[in-house]
Structure formats: C-alpha cells, structure tokens
Amino acid sequence: MTELQVGKKSISKLFSEMQNRKFIIPEFQRPYKWDTELCETLWNDIEDFAANDAASGADYFLGTIVSCQNENEDLEIIDGQQRITSFLLLLRVFYRKLEDMNQNSLDVVGLKSKIAPCIWDVDEISGVVTDRTKIRIQSLVITDDDNNTFHKILETGDCLPNAEDNYSKNYSFFETKCDEYAKNNPLGWNHLCITILNRCIILPIECNTSETALKIFSTLNDRGLPLADSDVFKAEIYKSIETSDERKLFTEEWNDLARLCKQARITIDDIFRYYMHVIRARNNDNSKEVGLRKFYADSKYAYLKSPELIKELWALADFWVNINIRKEPSLFDSDYSISPEARQYLHCLAYYPNEYWKYPVSVFFLKSLKNKESKTFDENFCFLLKRLISLLFYKFIFTPSINAIRDDIYNLYISIKSSKKQDINIPIDDEIFFKRMTDEFASPKISRALILLNAYLHPQQNDLIPETFDIEHIFPRQWQDSNYGGWNKEAAQVYLDHFGNKIVLEKKLNIQAGNGYFGVKKSRYAKSKIAAICELSNLSQNDWRKEDIEARDKRFISEILSFIKQNIA
C-alpha cells in the first residue's frame, strides 16, 4: 500500500527533526550542478523577502523535497538534492561567521544553537556539537568526483580559494554575500538568519518505498521542472533493479557511460537519442518522430529494461568517441577500425547543419557490431557515408530544411537494419544544379561542408585536414585601391563569395596570408599540407581574376556533382 507523508516545514524544522539520521543523496542521482548564478538568484530572493515580506508573517516557498526512508532509517533524496545541498552550504557560511563573532553574545549563542542541528548531530542534553564529521547529509553520487569536498566543507567550514568545483565556488560566493550583507546591514544580519531558518518553507514528500518516490519524481519533472531526460531514464532503470549489488553495479556502469559521453563531446541525452533511432530501425518504424522522453515513456520504459541496454549504449558512446576525437575504440574488444577515407567523409558531415546524419550512422554501427561484420565494416561504412553526404548535401542545396530529409533518413536506417540497399531516386538536372550553385545558392549553413568535401575530393588529398580550419578567400575580401588585374571593387564584390574563390586552408597559414594579393599569398600556400592549396601555389600567374574564379567555379561544381551522381544512384 502506498503511503505518503506530506507537511509544510521550515528549514530549521526539516533538518532539526533529523537527529541521528541523514539525508542521503543516492548513487543514481546526478552531480551537484548549481552554479553561482543560481545561488545568486536564491540569495537575492531571500534578501528581498527578508526586507519586504517576512515581517508580515508571510513565508518564502522553496519547493518540494521527495524522499524515501531506507533500511537505516535515513532519508534518500529522490528530488530536491540541488536545493538541499545549496541551503546546507549557505547555513554553514552563517555558522562559520558566527564562530568569528563574540562568543559571549547571547544572540550569537542562540543563533549557533539553532543552526548547528541543521548541519550536525548535537548532544541530546546540551545541544552542543561533539563530532563535526556527523553531518546531516551524505552524497553517494557515483558520477560526482567532488563528494568529499562537499563533506569537508560542512565539517570544517573551509574550502580551497581557487577550487573549481561547484561546492567550493558556491560556498565562497555565499561567504562573500554574507560578509557584504553584515557590513551593509549590521542590525539586520541576525534577522536574516532567523528568516532563513523559520520563514523559508519546504514541502517534504516522504514515501514508504523508493518506487513511489521515483514515480512522484518522474511526475513532477514531466510537468516542467528542469531535468535532463537521461536523469529520468536513470531513475527508471534504477527502480527496476532489485538487489543492492545490482544497483551498485548499475551506478558504476552509468558512471562509465557518463565519462564516455563527455569524452565524445556529447551528452547522455544524445546517446539515448541515437539509440532511440536504433530502436525505431529495428521496429521498422518510419512514422513521425516524437520527443525523446515520450518515446521511452510510451513503452512504459520497456526499452530501458533490456539486458543489452547498457552494453549497447557503452559501445555506441565509444564509437562516437572514435568519431568525434579521432580515437580508436577503448572499452571494447572491437576489431573494427575507421579508415582515413571514412574519417574524411565524417569530417564533412560534422559541418552538416543538423544531426540527422548521426542516426543511420548509429544504426549501422550497432548492426555491424551485433552481426560481427568487422571484415567488411570499413567498406560498408564508406559506402554509407558517401550516400549520406550525397543525399543530404544535394537536398539541402535545393531545400534547406529538416523536413526535406527526415523521411529519407528514416527509410535509410530501416534499410540498413534489413541489409537492403535503399534506392534513392532523385532526378538530377546538371543545368539546374549549376545554376543553383552559381546564381542562387548562398547558404552559409552548408557552404563550409561543401568546400571541405571539394578539398577531400582532390586525388592527392590523402591526409585528414585539421579539425579546425579556415575558409580562405583567394581574392581577398578586403578591398585595396591598388588591386591588380583590371578589377574594380564593384566587379570583385560579385565574385568574392563564389565557390571558385574559396578554399580550405590551415588556420595559421590563413592568418599569415591575410589580405594579400594572389602572387604574395602563393608563398604561404606552398607551406600547406592541403593538396588543392599546394596546386594553387604552383600556378605561374600572380593575379587572380574573374576568369579564374569562373573556371574554378565550374570545376568545383562539376566535382561535387560528379560525386553526388556516383553515390546517389
């Protein structure tokens, strides 16, 4: 039978009723994320409330705390740990300041006796703190490397001045604000302490089971409280695990997943989104896409209970580490590898204006891993990437929107799952394509990707181009009155942003080349490791005219079109 205990409590009452018990932040919770901006908002709200509303008997409502009692009779915080943590840091600042005041003052003694039970266990008779290691809260969050820092701050009242963790930065922030307030409002400082203790109100919801608490947690956060989708997923998975050993193993696995995603420069939400499309492909689902949380919730989170879930998420995250930081697999005994050719195509796709290309790539990887297709992995991967580039780039040139490619992406990853080649029937008219690329197409959203692709299509371009590169204007964008070759400013302006006047160049060389004339810049071009740039440096001419841009325009567009036609048919 579900039992809930709900009752409005002040900060003082909430903590002081916890004698010989603790608030526990469980392993599956996310790390402490509040920054000084959020702490400043909290401080300003309380300061304003104390000055304007507290005297009338009003209360300042801080929100809910959802918890459940564990086997040790401690309360595990399911929702509200960010607020609880921040308030304990604030109370510790007040207590530290009281320690520096006159200990014979009745006000100081009284305030210390009210704050101490909120932070530590106190002697039942004297009300004195006998052991400052017995703090009111314990964080077990596996993914938070700074748990010990938090505990030490509460024990000692000290933090390292230049520490970068949120606990230390927020504690230092509250110290500064407290000192400023005491200096500017010496007669109101005690009143502020009492206001925080007695007028700041929490609505604690204590449940008799963790399952009930997690349901309330999900319900609250489905109604708009800021929480990542993956936090809800983590809670749902944790709820479905029966034994404490299995739960401990899960938190360790989640920790590894979080580290992998961070290394891959993506979020855990991202990896669940990629995996959502893997599931859709397996289900032959090319219907309208729904939101990430809704997709998993609609199945009553059944997809999160698959025994293969964590293993596949790990593998997928490790794959994106491989792609995004050009690093070979680390956690798995996978014998696949990504060739330089495949990495060239991935580099181009990285500049595509949205992430839809990542969904078929993820489907392809997990399908290949599951079917142990390592021997043909790279050949098949290059084939897929070339088709993706051709499809996505061609369609964006004519219709730059997600709607133009969404259905194609869904059908493509379903065909990958079934190992059937998808026919992409797009009529290509050379004349219209040339006109679109020269006369009409000017979207900066994909021009960078097209220029990079053209650089890779050079037959002598074998090496990867640096991840950070610049787009060089061969004829400089900044006009100089002494410009050469019969150009005038108006004529040059028309051709400056043509593809024939742009090329990929290493960032350092681009800075060195500056806005010089072609004849001057060639010496810089000669130092480049990009084949197309080296080719330009070998030209005998010292001028770069309209005719040169037009000729290179035709060559550029022809090479892009040829690539598309070869891979889209």
Looking at 241-307, list the stretches that DSSP marks H as alpha helix, in order from N- to C-terminal side: 244-263, 268-282, 292-298
Residue that the structure tokens 């936090």 belong to: 231
Quote the CA–CA distance of 513 and 522 in Å, as a whole number: 8
Residue that the structure tokens 């900044």 belong to: 478
pLDDT value, residue 226? 53
pLDDT value, residue 329? 55
Which sign, positive or negative, has the C-alpha torsion 279, 285, 290, 296? negative
Domain ranges of the chain: 4-222, 229-426, 432-568
The total of other beta-carbon atoms located within 10 Å of residue 35's CB is 12
Residue that the structure tokens 């110290």 belong to: 175
Q: Report the Cα–Cα distance between both ends of the chain, in Å, rounded.
A: 62
Q: pLDDT 10s per residue in the chain (569 long)?
A: 455 666 788 988 888 777 778 899 887 777 898 999 999 999 999 988 888 877 777 888 888 888 888 888 888 888 888 989 999 999 999 999 988 888 788 888 888 889 998 888 887 777 788 889 889 899 888 667 788 899 999 999 999 888 889 999 999 999 999 999 988 888 788 888 888 898 888 888 888 776 677 666 666 655 444 567 888 888 888 878 888 888 888 888 988 898 899 999 999 999 999 999 999 999 999 999 889 988 998 888 999 999 999 999 999 999 999 999 877 655 455 678 899 999 999 999 999 999 999 999 999 999 988 877 778 899 999 999 999 999 999 999 988 888 889 999 999 999 998 877 666 667 788 888 898 888 766 677 899 999 999 999 999 999 999 988 999 999 887 776 665 566 777 777 788 889 999 999 999 998 888 877 888 889 999 999 999 999 999 999 888 888 999 999 999 999 999 999 999 86
pLDDT value, residue 485? 62
Query: b/e map of 4-26 (b: 16 or more CB within 10 Å)?
Result: eeeeeebbbbbbbebeeebbbbb
Q: What is the pTM of this model?
A: 0.73
pLDDT value, residue 1? 45
Residue 473's φ and ψ, nearest 5 degrees, are -90, 115
Q: What is the identity of the amino acid at 87?
A: F
Quote the CA–CA distance of 443 and 404 in Å, as a whole number: 16
DSSP result, 504-567: EEEHHHHHHHTT--HHHHHHHHTT-S-HHHHHHHT-S-S---HHHHHHHHHHHHHHHHHHHHHH
Token digits of residue 560:
């892009």
pLDDT value, residue 142? 66
Rounded to 5°, angle at Cα 318 from 314 and 322: 170
- 8 Å CB contact between 394 and 531: no
